[in-house]
């Protein structure tokens, strides 16, 4: 049978309320030997407090849901690491929820957090609208810039300026035939990269054909398929910017399969500077930003909301910086081009 607070109290020779005070760390004056007996009884009996019961007693479970779109992308591992470290310091446990780019799963995880009395949510909302999140009446912080969420704290990245840096780098190397492979355009992440690409091309007086502007899933396969299609065009690009590093890995695979040498014949830039970027062949030029710091900042903002501290919604936007590696070079001469 499940061990109860009454069982712990009996073993320690104290009242159930004393056990509760130890569990909830209420800082009420207590003899050290009494606290030690309770902690020993908890350990001996293997007692674990019920989250719903704790919520009824204290109004808190000290649990936060981190809802991410894709656990297979290393960016979220690094972000989750920052979230978890900061949460641990604040006394919270993180429940990691992988929505897998699925709107129904994303909504179900939000409802799970509410129904389980979690203290808050950190989310990169792909499909959830502001009014739907607001209706849950649970503190929430966004990972990413989203329209319509003006009353929520958010911690994002200046994606457009990052893409502009990538286009500038290609241009400075001499590329004019620059293509884009972004994510689904019905997501903010995919659309924002398209906006940055078009601004960057217009800045340099370049008017790329629609055939050079592709969208795909945020996966290695998506990057592979779209890069292969681009390289098989009658007038293929000499440079491709891809929406994330995983897609860029797919681009490198497609180029290798077609006998296109990177960077001598094709330059490639990714986004996120994940651990994979440094170990590809050639190593990947990409855009970086402080992923762990983003996670830590999100926790700090959420804890303020959980504690019901006053203040206007905060918007913390981290800048991007280009990390130059081996996947970019000047374009080949037209005569020697594919």
How confident is the model over 248-273, as a mean pLDDT? 98
Q: Tell me whether residue 55 is exposed, middle or buried, using C-beta atoms within 10 angstroms of its C-beta: 0 to 12, 13 to 18, 19 or more.
A: middle
How confident is the model over 189-214, as a mean pLDDT? 97
pLDDT over threshold 80, residue 202: yes
Given this model, what pLDDT does residue 65 score?
96
Domain boundaries, the chain: 5-49, 63-158+290-319, 159-288+323-336
Residue 178 CB contacts under 8 Å (≥ 6 apart), including other chains: 167, 170, 171, 201, 206, 208, 212, 237, 238, 239, 240, 241
Residues 276-287: tens digit of each pLDDT = 999 999 999 999
Residue 181 in contact with residue 215, Cβ under 8 Å? Answer: yes
CA 267/CA 283 separation, integer angstroms: 11
pLDDT over threshold 90, residue 28: no
Average pLDDT, the chain: 91
Given this model, what pLDDT does residue 338 score?
39
Residues 327-338: tens digit of each pLDDT = 999 999 743 443
pLDDT over threshold 70, residue 124: yes
- Residues of the chain with pLDDT > 90: what percent? 72
How confident is the model over 245-250, as a mean pLDDT? 97
DSSP 314: P
Given this model, what pLDDT does residue 337 score?
42
pLDDT over threshold 60, residue 245: yes
Residue 279 CB contacts under 8 Å (≥ 6 apart), including other chains: none
Residue 52 CB contacts under 8 Å (≥ 6 apart), including other chains: 61, 116, 117
Residue 182 in contact with residue 244, Cβ under 8 Å? Answer: no
Given this model, what pLDDT does residue 31 score?
85
How confident is the model over 156-185, as a mean pLDDT? 97
pLDDT over threshold 50, residue 193: yes
Lowest mean pLDDT of 23-37, 233-247, 285-299, name the range.
23-37
pLDDT over threshold 90, residue 61: no
Given this model, what pLDDT does residue 18 score?
87
The 3-state DSSP class for residue 292 equals helix
User: Where residue 57 falls among pLDDT bands split at 50, 70, 90?
Assistant: low
Given this model, what pLDDT does residue 163 score?
98
The CATH T-level fold of domain 159-288+323-336 is Rossmann fold (3.40.50)
Q: CATH assignment of 63-158+290-319?
A: 3.40.50.2300
63-158+290-319 against 159-288+323-336: fold identical: yes
Lowest mean pLDDT of 246-250, 265-269, 291-295, name the range.
291-295
Given this model, what pLDDT does residue 32 score?
87
How confident is the model over 291-299, as a mean pLDDT? 93
């Amino acid at each position: 049978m499940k061990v109860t607070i009454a069982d712990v109290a009996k073993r320690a020779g104290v009242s159930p309320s004393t056990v509760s005070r130890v569990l909830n760390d209420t800082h009420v004056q207590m003899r050290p030997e009494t606290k030690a007996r309770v902690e020993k009884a908890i350990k001996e009996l293997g007692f674990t407090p019920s989250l719903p019961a704790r919520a009824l007693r204290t109004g808190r479970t000290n649990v936060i849901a981190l809802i991410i779109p894709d656990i297979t992308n290393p960016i979220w591992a690094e972000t989750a690491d920052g979230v978890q470290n900061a949460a641990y310091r604040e006394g919270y446990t993180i429940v990691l929820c992988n929505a897998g780019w699925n709107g129904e799963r994303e909504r179900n995880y939000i409802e799970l957090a509410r129904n389980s009395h979690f203290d808050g949510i950190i989310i990169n909302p792909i499909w959830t609208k502001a009014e739907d999140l607001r209706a849950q009446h649970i503190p929430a912080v966004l990972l990413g810039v989203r329209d319509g969420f003006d009353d929520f704290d958010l911690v994002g990245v200046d994606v457009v300026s990052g893409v502009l840096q990538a286009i500038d780098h290609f241009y400075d190397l001499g590329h004019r035939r620059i293509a884009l492979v972004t994510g689904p355009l019905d997501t903010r992440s995919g659309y924002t990269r398209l906006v940055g690409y078009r601004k960057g091309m217009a800045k340099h007086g370049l008017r790329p054909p629609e055939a050079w502007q592709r969208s795909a899933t945020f996966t290695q396969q998506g990057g592979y398929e779209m890069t292969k299609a681009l390289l098989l065009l009658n007038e293929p690009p000499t440079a491709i910017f891809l929406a994330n590093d995983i897609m860029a890995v797919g681009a490198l695979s497609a180029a290798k399969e077609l006998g296109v040498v990177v960077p001598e014949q094709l330059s490639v830039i990714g986004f996120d500077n994940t651990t994979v970027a440094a170990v590809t062949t050639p190593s990947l030029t990409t855009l970086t930003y402080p992923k762990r710091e983003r996670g830590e900042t999100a926790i700090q903002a959420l804890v303020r909301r959980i504690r019901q501290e006053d203040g206007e919604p905060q918007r913390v936007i981290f800048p991007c910086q280009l990390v130059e590696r081996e996947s970019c070079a000047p374009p080949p001469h037209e005569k020697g081009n594919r």
